[in-house]
Amino acid sequence: MFLINCPFCGEREQSEFKAGGEAHIVRPKQPTELSDDEWAEYLFMRKNIKGVQFERWNHVHGCRKWFNMVRDTSNDQIKAVYKMGEKPPIK
């Protein structure tokens, strides 16, 4: 339970949002040339970090826009929110 500052709508309650998992996983340009191991790595393997994690969220009950968030998964503290395609403001 926390508040999220949607980059488009402003501060809203987390229940208006849908989590979209780990961010910045790039879809391989040519999936047909990957080995099964590489495809599984892209599709299923996750860092699942305890600590600062980069993730995707969707304001599904509001503007329905996707955006990125940096959050500490050990205490749910949000470090930063930034739009899709932008560089993360922190490392």
Partner 1 sequence: MKQLRDLSKQKIGVVAAGHSSVIANMAGLKLPLESKPLQALVSEPVKPIIDTVVMSNAVHAYVSQSDKGELVIGAGTDDYVSYSQKGSHDIVEGTLNAILELYPIFSRMRMLRQWGGIVDICPDASPIISKTSIKGLYFNCGWGTGGFKATPGSGDLFAHTIANDEPHKLNAAFNINRFVSGDLVDEHGAAAVAH
Partner 2 sequence: MLNYNHTIKEEKSYQGLQMIEMKPVMKLIVRGKKREFLSAIGKSLNMVLPTKANTSTQSEKLTALWLSPDEWMIFSNGVVKENTNSYETETLLNKNISKLDLGAVVDVTDQFVRINLKGDKIYNLFQTGSPFNFNDFRNKTGSVTQTILAKIDVIIHNQNRNEVNLFVRRSFSEHLFAWMNDSASRL
Binding partner of residue 65 among partner 1, partner 2, none, CB cut-off 5 to 8 Å per kind: partner 2
For residue 38, the minimal CB distance to partner 2 (Å) is 35
SS3 label, residue 85: coil
Neighbours of 65 (CB within 10 A): 15
Site for partner 1 in 7-66 (CB under 8 A): 14-15, 18-19, 21-22, 36-37, 39-41, 43-50, 53, 55
For residue 31, the minimal CB distance to partner 2 (Å) is 29
Tokens of 18: 């849908």
Binding partner of residue 50 among partner 1, partner 2, none, CB cut-off 5 to 8 Å per kind: partner 1
Binding partner of residue 10 among partner 1, partner 2, none, CB cut-off 5 to 8 Å per kind: partner 2
* Alpha-carbon distance values, 2 to 34, 78, 82 (Å): 39, 9, 17
Cα 69 to chain centroid distance, Å, stands at 6
